Amino acid sequence: MIKIQDLRLFNTMLNSWLIPSQIKGESKSIMKKWCQFENKFCHTDMKRNAFLIALGLLSLISLDLNHNKAGNNPDLQFELVNRVLPATYFLLLAFWLRLKKLPNESLAFVLNKLLFLSGILLVYILQYRYCQIFPDRLRIYSPLLIPVGIFLTRIGPRNSLVFFTICLALWRLFFYDPSYFQQDLNYFLVSFFFALPFANTIKFASRSVLEQAKRFESEKKLDVQKKQQKETLVKILCHDINNPLTVVNGQLQRVIKDARANKSSMEEIATRAEKALKCAYVIQHIIQQVNELEALESGKISLSCQPVMLKEILDSSINTLSDKMKAKKVKFLCECSEEIYIYAEPKSLSNSVINNLLSNAIKFVNQGTGKIMLTATAKKSEVYLVLTDNGVGMPDSIRDNLFREDVVTSRPGTSGERGTGFGMPLVKTYMDLYNGRIEVSSREKESHPKTHGTTFTLVFRRFGKNHRTNKKPVNLSSSHDHAA
């Protein structure tokens, strides 16, 4: 069996007339799909058609016998040969296709189509031969076999033209009769116009196969990509959890050792326990955010977006993170009108989006000189929420991968604050679910000592000016802080 894995044969296929133009130039996997599709067509449709042609030819024998009894058939023996020979050929072809296993990635369909067309040519030749012996018989049957063969084999426009030319050449070389020239020419023209729509059937079939193959290929690539992302995510997760776990183990070991030796006071034990507890919170936070990301991507969490007063959300997040801002002496300014309403899910917007962004800004501004500004602007059907800080900024390598969970982007803050690395991917995921978008720009302190800092721009769908939601207001004061 000829396999498509043979590179030389593969290149020959690309340049041959057997493959439709829209299939040429596609990837090897799509070519394999095309071969599978054509082999299935030959194994089912052509097998059935060969069997039906054989039955049709054999059924004409009874008609010939009746004509012979009536004295209208001058040569019964030739008539029977004219029916039985091609009928036997098509029966053998049908049984051969039936007994053969369905090939997968081979070019078996090429041979099958050639064999079927050879049977059509056999009937074509015998029919013209019959007309030569009995000139009073209709000569249109032979030309009409041309569109029949093209339709049943689905060989495409260019191959149809080749087949038509072969039939025309056979007629000119062996069955040309000057007295029937005009009549035969008219019949060939009729068969040509009948063949035109049939010649394009392969194009429509190819389009369907191409769409299915491309969809399958893209899904396969997506599965591979997701698998790779999960593998990378597990590595990052193990790395991020290992660091705080090391601190927890170290502190607990020291507490146990000193407690046994009665060297540590209760205050020292409490300090070490507090450090261990903070690291345990970091581990818990990482696991929570990874679980939340996984649930969002798999569709386990469904969000119900509704009109939300943006100022209410911002006030809630500011209140949650006010202690952190005071500890770093951050100057904070928020400009947002109470008239601005957006489409979002309130709790996730407050806990996972705004809290993460604000916490990130606090993390990277300097103690005592940090400035953070939140500005909300409504424009037509969108609301732009801009968060700007004068922090240390971030390099391009982090900015470009900031929203990817499979790339390590976490780094310590200006006061040694730890992050999870999953806060920003979570923000991006929620913004996508809101049908919004997020953009980021940043300037590093080293390269821009006077204008350093980071700006996040969140774009939400806007709720109408004069509309208000009829839903009960969501109590945000009981929400937990999920900031990175």
Residue 479 covered by a domain: no
92 shares a domain with 14 = yes
Residues 199-238 pLDDT 10s: 777 666 666 667 777 777 777 777 776 676 666 656 555 6
335 shares a domain with 444 = yes
347 shares a domain with 273 = no
Pick the last residue of a domain from 255, 272, 298. Answer: 298
pLDDT of 83 reads 80
pLDDT of 242 reads 62
Nearest to 81 by CA among 135, 123, 136: 123
Residue 484 covered by a domain: no
pLDDT of 9 > 70? The answer is no
Structural domains counted in the chain:
3
pLDDT of 329 reads 92
41 shares a domain with 133 = yes
The residues with which 164 forms a beta bridge, in sequence order, are: none
Residue 256, classified by CB atoms within 10 Å of its CB into exposed (0-12), middle (13-18) or buried (19+), is: exposed
Q: State the average pLDDT over residues 428-448.
A: 90
Query: Phi and psi of 477, rounded to 5°?
Result: -70, -25
170 shares a domain with 35 = yes
Q: What is the CA 187 to chain-centroid distance, rounded? A: 49
Residue 74 is given by DSSP the state S
pLDDT of 30 > 50? The answer is yes
Residue 467's Cβ-side half-sphere holds a number of Cα atoms within 13 Å equal to: 12
- CATH of residue 294's domain is 1.10.287
pLDDT of 484 reads 44
pLDDT of 293 reads 63
Q: DSSP for 18-61? A: SS-TTTTT--HHHHHHHHHHHHHHIIIIIHHHHHHHHHHHHHHH
Cα angle for residues 338, 343, 347 (degrees, 5° grid): 85
Pick the last residue of a domain from 280, 298, 316. Answer: 298
Q: State the average pLDDT over residues 435-440.
A: 93
Q: State the average pLDDT over residues 45-68.
A: 79
Pick the last residue of a domain from 254, 278, 298. Answer: 298
Residue 108's Cβ-side half-sphere holds a number of Cα atoms within 13 Å equal to: 18
Residue 473 covered by a domain: no
Q: Which residue has the higher pLDDT, 86 or 8?
A: 86
pLDDT of 80 > 80? The answer is no
pLDDT of 108 > 50? The answer is yes
361 shares a domain with 274 = no
Residue 243 covered by a domain: yes
Number of H helices, E strands in the chain: 16, 7
- CATH of residue 362's domain is 3.30.565.10
Residue-level length of the chain: 484
352 shares a domain with 316 = yes
Residue 469 covered by a domain: no
Residues 366-411 pLDDT 10s: 999 999 999 999 988 999 999 999 999 999 988 898 888 777 787 8
Distance CA 345, CA 78 (A): 84
Residue 3 is given by DSSP the state B
254 shares a domain with 192 = no
Range of the domain at 282: 233-298
Residue type, 327: A
Q: State the average pLDDT over residues 248-271.
A: 72
Residues 143-199 pLDDT 10s: 888 888 888 887 777 788 888 889 889 888 888 888 888 888 888 888 888 888 877
278 shares a domain with 153 = no
pLDDT of 4 > 80? The answer is no
Residue 210 covered by a domain: no
pLDDT above 90 as % of the chain: 16
Residue 475 covered by a domain: no
Distance CA 397, CA 402 (A): 9
279 shares a domain with 418 = no
Q: Strands 341-344, 453-463: parallel, antiparallel or unpaired by DSSP?
A: antiparallel
pLDDT of 472 reads 42
242 shares a domain with 327 = no
317 shares a domain with 261 = no
Q: Which residue has the higher pLDDT, 74 or 113?
A: 113
Residue 73 covered by a domain: yes
Give SS3 for 320.
helix
